[in-house]
Amino acid sequence: MKKHFSVLIALVALLAFVAAPVFAQGATEATKAAGPTTIELWYGAAITEAGPPPSDWVGFQIIKDKLNIDLKLTALPSNESDQDVKIQAAAAANNLPDLFMVRRDVLTRLVPQGLIAPVDGLYEKMPVRTATHYDAVSKNHAKFNGKTYGLADPGSIIKNEGLLIRKDWLENLGLSVPTTTDELLNVMRAFTENDPDGNGKNDTWGYGSFQEINNYEAWPGRRLEPIFGAFGVEGTWNMTAANAGLSILKPEFYNAMVYLKKMVDEGVMDPNWLAYKKDDFRAAWKQGRFGIMREQNAAFAAQSNYAPFDKNFPEGEWMIIDPPKGPTGKASVGPYTANFRLYAISAKAAKEGKSEKIAELLEWMASDEGYYLLGWGVEGVNYTKDANGIPVAKNLPNADLAFSAPGGQTVTQLRNMVFYNGDIELYARYPKYITETSKKEMSALVVLRDMQTRTWTPAIGSDTLPIPNADLKRFYEQGLSEFITGKRTLTSENWTKWLDEFKKLGGQDWNDKGVAFAKENNLLN
């Protein structure tokens, strides 16, 4: 009996011992009104694989001393669906944090619930930040019923992608740069069948892509926009005043589908394209699987991203080309809209009177001190300034802590709250460098400027148009993919029938609502 009793006591003791930490609150503690204001910030990490800022990060102390704010940080999950679930669950329990990053689609659902505070009055409290971060388009981006419900910070730079082709493959096969869709098809065929890398193996394809969809670039998504642009049906919406409406309802869309299907049927597109996720696609071009792609400037040309390709193919070289012209002479890399990262303030926080403090915090982030601290770290530890005042990763006592090295990642996780694509940033983020193996001079900034000169289709605000119901969205995407994979035969007749069903299911409604919204908000060009 005693033995079992002592076992029981031991078990209870173990439970209690474990209970203490497992029931303990998280690292930072909430304090009452007299002390500093606690602000809970759910942020999207700049580099999700790296960890969060350490608990002894100098930023916490500075913010407490200068602004009397106790900042509690929570990193949102790296996956967008997980982010949405976490935010929506907190919303359902009326437990949203004070300041949080949120996607526009989710914000659209939270506003009618009365969970988000309007921010119109805060712009004048943040003069420096508003001047650099918030222009007219930004203020309209999260406007619902006349009030703005989110601070739309600048996201990625516009027009930062381009159509790239393997220059060395063209030279090896004696081909010239394709300028029309027909020429493009021939080049793709040559890349697939004529062993452009000369390794004697049948392991190359013409075009490479993966399904990257968002609410203004519908299936098959961003990577294939140059193809659809050749037919004038790039993007989900046609934003011209003359021809406004869903691209899918335009007759040219069928022609674009026919071309795409040809690409797939002839096997000139990397057959893994339907199965790739973003990582796999990027790994694939670094392994020389295909010769034509649409890629982002930094993902292509930044040092750590280009290095594997450089090592594998020192002779390899990509060049940026104009998007191909279609049968009617149209061409476009794709639609572009201002990209924003939205930050919302919960109604709960506003009721507790925290809006002013939040504005103070954001304004401080836009000041010189906050900008450099959150963007690059501590001067002399994580960066030094060169002759032009651009932060560089040179002359540091501990090179591992440089802002561009893995060691410096944790202290700059909040940088997407301060960056606004200003010149200093671009020079710092995209420095010139010499590649290791082939000794080429590369610069993601040069690549960016080149990409921005090509033909793009303005579609500002197309990402604020009404989104379709989940089932309609599925019908849309599923149908298109079935036409391409051959599950549905792509004939004029089938296409019309499918479109009719689409319209009946709500497609026509969606189209009309979108056009009306665009007209109301002066989004048409």
Partner 1 sequence: MPIAIVKKRDRQVIREIKRHKSVYLLLIVPLVYYVIFKYVPIFNGQIAFKDYMALDGVLGSKWIGLTHFKTFISSYYFGELLRNTLMYSVGKLLFSLPLAIILAITIYECNRPHLRKIVQTLSYLPHFLSWVIMYGILLALLAPGDGVLNDIIKLFGGKPIDFLTNTNAFPWIVIFSDAWKEMGWSAIIFIAALMGIDPSLFEAALVEGANSWQRVRYITLPSIRPVILIVVLLRLGTILDAGFNQIFMLYSTPVLSVADIIDTWVYRQGLLEFQFGLATAVGLFKGVIGMFLILGSNKLVKRFGGNSLF
Partner 2 sequence: MKKSLFKNKSGYRKVGTASVSIKPTAADHSFNVLVDVFLAVLLVIIAIPLWSTITLSFRPNDYIGNNLQGMFLAPWNWSTSAYKALLGNQGFILSFKNSFLILIGGVASALFLTIPLAYVLSIPSLPGRKYLNMLIIIPYVFNVGMIPSYLLVTNLGLIDKLAAVFLPGAISTYNCLIMRSFFEGIPNELKESARIDGATEIQVLMRVILPLSKAIIMTIGLFYGVSFWNDFFHAMLYLNSNSLQPLPILLRNILMASGMNEYVEVNAFGDAPIAAIKAASVFMSAIPMVIAYPFIQKYFTKGTLLGSVKG
Q: Which stretch binds partner 1 (CB under 8 A): 153-161, 371-379, 425-433, 483-491?
A: 483-491
* Interactions with partner 1, residue window 26-85 (CB under 8 A): 81, 84-85
Instruction: Based on the shown chain and the rule CB under 8 A, indicate whether residue 470 belongs to the binding site for partner 1.
Output: yes
Residue 30 interacts with which of partner 2, partner 1, none, CB < 5 to 8 Å by class: none
Residue 74 interacts with which of partner 2, partner 1, none, CB < 5 to 8 Å by class: partner 2
In whole angstroms, what is the distance from residue 167 CA to residue 21 CA? 59
Instruction: Based on the shown chain and the rule CB under 8 A, indicate whether residue 499 belongs to the binding site for partner 1.
Output: no
Among 82, 120, 265, 471, binds partner 2 (CB under 8 A): 82
The encoded tokens of residue 2 equal 């005693």
Q: 344 pairs with which residues across the strands?
A: 100
Instruction: Based on the shown chain and the rule CB under 8 A, indicate whether residue 478 belongs to the binding site for partner 1.
Output: yes
Instruction: Based on the shown chain and the rule CB under 8 A, indicate whether residue 356 belongs to the binding site for partner 2.
Output: no
Specify the residue, 330 or 341, whose C-beta has the smaller distance to partner 2: 341
Residue 52 interacts with which of partner 1, partner 2, none, CB < 5 to 8 Å by class: partner 2
Instruction: Based on the shown chain and the rule CB under 8 A, indicate whether residue 46 belongs to the binding site for partner 2.
Output: yes
Instruction: Based on the shown chain and the rule CB under 8 A, indicate whether residue 271 belongs to the binding site for partner 1.
Output: yes
- Judge whether 465 and 244 are in contact, CB under 8 Å: no
CA 95 to chain centre: 27
Instruction: Based on the shown chain and the rule CB under 8 A, indicate whether residue 518 belongs to the binding site for partner 1.
Output: no
- Judge whether 436 and 443 are in contact, CB under 8 Å: no
Q: Minimal distance in Å, beta carbon 232 to partner 1?
A: 23
Q: Minimal distance in Å, beta carbon 273 to partner 1?
A: 9
Closest CA to 132 of 417, 483, 473: 417
Q: Minimal distance in Å, beta carbon 278 to partner 2?
A: 5
How many residues are recorded in the chain? 525
Q: 295 pairs with which residues across the strands?
A: 162
Residue 478 interacts with which of partner 2, partner 1, none, CB < 5 to 8 Å by class: partner 1
Q: Minimal distance in Å, beta carbon 505 to partner 1?
A: 7
Among 404, 457, 462, 464, binds partner 2 (CB under 8 A): 404
Q: Give all strands (DSSP E) within 6-114, no chain letters.
A: 37-43, 69-75, 99-102
Angle, vertex CA 260, rays to CA 254 and CA 262, nearest 5: 105
Q: Which long-range contacts (CB under 8 A, 24 or more apart) does 195-198 make?
A: 196/166, 196/169, 196/170, 196/172, 196/291, 197/169, 197/172, 197/288, 197/313, 198/172
Closest CA to 342 of 205, 86, 141: 141
CA 469 to chain centre: 23
Among 61, 68, 95, 478, binds partner 2 (CB under 8 A): 95
In whole angstroms, what is the distance from residue 166 CA to residue 21 CA? 56
Instruction: Based on the shown chain and the rule CB under 8 A, indicate whether residue 463 belongs to the binding site for partner 1.
Output: no
Q: 151 pairs with which residues across the strands?
A: 343
* Interactions with partner 2, residue window 178-217 (CB under 8 A): 203
Site string for partner 2, 303-342 (x = CB under 8 A): xxx--x--xx------------------------------
Report the run of H or E that residue 412 belongs to, with start and end.
Answer: none
Specify the residue, 55 or 388, whose C-beta has the smaller distance to partner 2: 55
- Helices (DSSP H) in 266-320: which residue ranges? 278-286, 297-301, 303-312
- Identify whether 220 is preceded by a cis peptide bond (ω within 30 of 0): yes
On the 0-12 / 13-18 / 19+ scale of CB atoms within 10 A, 264 is middle
Residue 455 interacts with which of partner 2, partner 1, none, CB < 5 to 8 Å by class: none
3-state DSSP helix/strand/coil percent for the chain, to nearest 5?
A: 45, 15, 35
Residue 383: CB atoms within 10 Å? 26
- Judge whether 466 and 510 are in contact, CB under 8 Å: yes
Among 181, 211, 382, 410, binds partner 2 (CB under 8 A): 410
Instruction: Based on the shown chain and the rule CB under 8 A, indicate whether residue 484 belongs to the binding site for partner 1.
Output: yes
Q: Minimal distance in Å, beta carbon 159 to partner 1?
A: 27
Q: Minimal distance in Å, beta carbon 473 to partner 1?
A: 8
Q: Minimal distance in Å, beta carbon 261 to partner 2?
A: 27
Among 6, 9, 15, 432, binds partner 2 (CB under 8 A): 15
* Positions that interact with partner 1 (CB under 8 A): 81, 84-85, 88, 91-94, 105-106, 109-110, 113-115, 203, 205, 211, 219, 270-272, 274-275, 277, 280, 289, 469-471, 474-475, 477-478, 480-482, 484-485, 487, 505
